[in-house]
Amino acid sequence: MALTVLDNLRELQEADQRLRALEQQKATHDRSVKVRAAQIEQHKQAIEQLHQDELRVRQAADQKELEIRSKRDEIQRLQQQQMQVKDNRQYQALQNEIKFAELAITKIEDDMLGDYGEIEEAQSRVQAAKDELAKHERDLDDLRQRIQEKKAEVDQNIEEARQQREAIAANLPPKAVAQFQRIAERLDGEALAPVLREEGGGDFVCGGCHMTVTQNTYVLLAGGGNPDDLITCPNCSRILYLEDG
């Protein structure tokens, strides 16, 4: 027995859903690569921030080193002045300034020890982050290679599914195909829905939106009307059909 328009549309929906699933599979692969690449970029930015933190501490240590040199120059100047003064009070005052400068140097050197500790910690964090980045980049390369190996197969499956869908569509009236496509685009590929009966022999409902359809609709689909006439759900506009059997 020749297939009706509705029979062909059901085949078209199956082919369309296979094609959509394959395209979704390909898109998922592409997204996984993009997500991994974005994570690597964020990791690089984090490493750059660690570098900036290390640079900040290093600059602070360098500034302290300049302060120490300045204090030592000051001490040398004060010592030269001591050699020239003859007054004991002036000599003692200069000696006190020298002691204050030496204490300042000791305080700065203690601070620098803390800076050097921070620098070592920052360098350790940078190296650990670089090692982790290298691992992420190797993982991304492996992922790209695996996806590339699957790409040819997925693309071939998509092309075969597209040809199958086009072949089915070619056996349908253009008006029916256009109607199918309009509904499918709006409802994520689900252009058709079965008519179901609620448990306990209740109302007939659309299998897509589960809203009630009339008993007359069921009768028409069961053979009481033109088999090539398309009957749609008054609520969601899906093309209705009866399940086989």
Q: What is the DSSP string of 195-215?
A: EEE-TTT--EEETTT--EE-H
| Fold designation for 5-171 | Helix Hairpins (1.10.287)
Element containing residue 36 per DSSP (H, E): helix 5-84
Residue 176: per-residue pLDDT = 93
Residue 147: per-residue pLDDT = 82
Distance in angstroms (rounded) separating the CA atoms of residues 1 and 46: 68
What is the percentage of the chain residues whose pLDDT exceeds 70? 96
Residue 229: per-residue pLDDT = 83
Angle at 192 between CA 187 and CA 194, to 5 degrees: 125
Class of residue 213 by CB neighbours under 10 A (exposed 0-12, middle 13-18, buried 19+) = buried
Q: Tell me the pLDDT of the chain averaged across its residues.
A: 88
Q: Residue 227 — very low, low, confident or very high, per pLDDT cuts 50/70/90?
A: low
Tens digit of each residue's pLDDT (9 = 90 or more) over 35-85 = 888 888 998 998 899 889 888 888 998 999 999 999 999 999 999 998 888
Residue 223: per-residue pLDDT = 76
Residue spans of the domains in the chain: they are 5-171, 177-241
Residue 1: per-residue pLDDT = 41
**Mean predicted confidence (pLDDT) in 101-105:** 93
Residue 193: per-residue pLDDT = 95
